Amino acid sequence: MKKLRWAVILIAVTISLQAQDEPSASPDKKAEDVKTGWTFGGVPVVAYDADQGFKYGALVNLYNFGDGSRYPMYDHSIYLEWSRTTKGSGINQITWDTDKLIPGIRSFFEGSVLTEQALDFYGFNGYESRYDLGLSDLAIDLNPADDLSDRLYYRHARRLIRVKADFQGEIVGQKFRWLAGAGYYNNKIDPVDVDKLNEGKTDNLLSDNSLYEDYIDWGIIDADEANGGAHTLLKGGLIYDTRDNEPNPFKGIWTEMQLHYVPSLLSNTDYGYGRLVFTHRQYFTIIPEWMNVAYRVSYQGKIFGEMPFYMLPYLFNTAPKLTTDGVGGSKTVRGVRRNRIVGEGFAYGNFEVRGKILKTKFLKQNFYIALSGFVDAGMVTQQVEWPDDLLLTHPEAAQHIDPNVKEIPHIGYGGGVHFVLNQNFIVTVDYGIAARAQDGETGLYINLNFLY
C-alpha cells in the first residue's frame, strides 16, 4: 500500500508538469481543442514495475502536430529518456518517429543502451522449468526473516546496445502497408555482480548461486553463447491497419506479419536464424467515445537456424512500439513474472475492457481518466531441446527441470486505471494477478500508454 500511495502522488505530479509544459489551448471553444505546432513535455520519469522496482530519472517528449489537421496524429515525435530502477535496470534512449522525413514513408529510429544488473531468468520451456518462490526476491516481502542467500538465483546481468531503423510505406493507402528495417543488438551477459550489490551491507545477503550459471554447468547454455554476442536483424513484412486512432482505438483492426533474418555473416558468433512474427489486434466500440473492448493475439517462432539463448526472450512489435523482453510481466502477461515464458516459439493473448469515467479540461488541456479490466495468457509453443541424458549426467538438475511436464497457458488477470492528456500522453497503472504460484503472485505496473 505504501508503494501504491507514493505511485499515485507521483502520477499526479507528472501529469501536472506535463500539462504545464504544453502550450496554452486555443481560445476557440470546442469539445476538444486541436493542437498545432510543437508541444513540449519534460517531466520526471514516473513508473513502477513489480519486476524492476521503482523507476526514476527524466524524460522529454516533443510532438509536432503540424497544422493540426491530423490531430491527435503528429508529424514528429522525439523521445529522450534517462532512467534507472531500484532493482538495477537502466535506460539511456532516444527515438524519433516521423512520416515527414521521407515523403510517403513513416520512419522510426532508436538508439538505446539498456542495462540490467539482475535480469529475470527462469529457464526454458515454461512449466518444464520449475519456479521456486523461495529462491526469488519475492521472498523478501513474504518472509523477511528467512535466509535470503539465494534471492538472486533467477537472475543474470545484461548490457544491451540497440540501434534500429524501421520504415513503413503505403500499398493501399494507410490501411495496407509494407514494413522493412534493420536492427543491431549487442548483448553482454554475465552473472549478477553480487560483490557490488553486497557492498556496504553488514550481512552477505546475496550469493553467487544462479540458474544461469547452473545452465552453463549442465551444458544447456553453450560456452560460445554464455556471455552474449552481437547480431544484426533484418526484417520485412506487411501491416493491415484500420484503427480509428493510435493511442486508444475504438474500432478497427491492426494485423501484422514480420519475417526476421539474423545472418551469422553479420554477427560475431556462428549463430544465424529466421523467425516469424504474427500479431493481430482488434477493437470494438461498446459505448461511443466512452467504452471499448480490445484483444490481441500473437505468435512468434523460429522457422530455421539456431538461436542463442539471449535472443530467445525478445518480443517484437511494429514501430513505434519498442522491442521488449519476453512473455510475462508488464507488456504481455501481467501478474506473471517477466521472462517466465521463454522458448524458441511462443504465443500470447490479451483481452481488455476499457471505459472512460471522466472527460474534462485539466490546466487548459484535454484530459480523461479510464478504467480497464483484463485477462492475459501466454505459453511456449516451440521448446528448446534439452541436452541428451541431462538428468542422468546432472541429476541435481531434476530439482529445476522436468521435461515431462505438459505446457499449458500461463494466465494473469487484473485491472488498471489510465490518465490521458491530449490523447497521446498516457500514464497507465495496471495490477495483475498470476493464476498459478508457479508464475509468481501479483504485479503492479506504472508505465506510459495503453498496452496495445
Give yes or no for a cis peptide into 144 (omega within 30° of 0): no
- Please say if the pLDDT value at position 25 is more than 80: no
Task: Provide the β-strand partners of residue 234.
Answer: 182, 261
Position 201 scores a pLDDT of 65
Q: Is the pLDDT of residue 214 over 60?
A: yes
User: pLDDT value at position 368?
Assistant: 94
Residues 6+ away with beta carbon under 8 Å from 92: 81, 82, 112, 113, 114
d(CA 363, CA 241): 34
Give the pairing type, strands 345-362 and 76-85: unpaired
Per-chain mean pLDDT for the chain: 87
HSE on the CB side for 320, CA within 13 Å? Answer: 20
Query: What is the number of other CB atoms lying within 10 angstroms of the CB of residue 91?
Result: 18
- Look up the pTM and report it: 0.84
What span, in angstroms and rounded, lies between the C-alpha atoms of 133 and 154? 10
Residue 181 vs residues 299, 345, 352: alpha-carbon distances, Å: 20, 22, 30
SS3 content of the chain, % helix, strand, coil (to 5): 15, 50, 35
Mean pLDDT of 169-190: 95
Beta bridge partner(s), residue 402 = none
Does the structure show a pLDDT above 60 at 17? Answer: no
Distances (CA, A) of 166 to 187, 264, 407: 20, 21, 34
pLDDT of 9 higher than 50 = no
Residue type, 98: T
CB 68 within 8 A of CB 38: no
Report the pLDDT value the prediction gives residue 174, as an integer from 0 to 100. 86
Per-residue pLDDT of 235-250, as tens digits, reads: 999 999 999 988 899 9
Q: Cell 514480420 belongs to which residue? A: 258
Inter-residue contact 449 to 423 (CB < 8 Å): no
Residue 416: closest CA among 366, 377, 376:
376
| Residue closest to 416 by CA, chosen among 346, 337, 356, 345 | 356
pLDDT of 425: 81
Are β-strands 155-172 and 38-44 bridged in parallel, bridged antiparallel, or unpaired?
unpaired
From the list 446, 223, 229, 221, the residue with the least C-alpha distance to 342 is 221
Question: Which pLDDT score is estimated for 143?
Answer: 45
Report residue 428 as a C-alpha cell: 497507465
Measuring CA to CA, which residue among 420, 320, 404 is closest to residue 367? Answer: 420
Largest CA distance in the chain: 76
Which pLDDT value is given to residue 105? 94
Tens digit of each residue's pLDDT (9 = 90 or more) over 256-299: 999 999 999 999 999 999 999 999 999 999 999 999 999 999 99
Most confident residue range from 126-140, 144-158, 349-363: 349-363
Number of other CB atoms surrounding residue 48 within 10 Å: 23
Question: Considering only CA atoms, which of 284, 291, 277, 180 is closest in space to residue 242?
Answer: 284
Q: Is residue 404 classed exposed, middle or buried when 0-12, 13-18 and 19+ CB atoms within 10 A define those classes? A: exposed
- pLDDT band for position 324 (cuts 50, 70, 90): confident
User: What's the angle, vertex CA 19, arms to CA 14 and CA 23, rounded to 5?
Assistant: 145
The answer to whether the CB of 329 falls within 8 A of the CB of 336 is yes
Domains by residue range for the chain, with CATH: 2-448 (2.40.160.50)
The closest of 339, 343, 334 to 447, measured between CA atoms, is 334
Residue 34 or residue 221, greater confidence: 221
Which stretch of 41-50, 286-295, 297-306 has the lowest confidence by average pLDDT? 41-50
Name the amino acid, one letter, at 37. G
Q: Which residues pair with 238 in a beta bridge?
A: 178, 257
The residue type at 254: W
Is 55 within 8 Å of 45 (Cβ atoms)? yes
pLDDT tens for 331-345 read 999 999 999 999 999
| Of 30-34, 75-79, 89-93, the least confident | 30-34
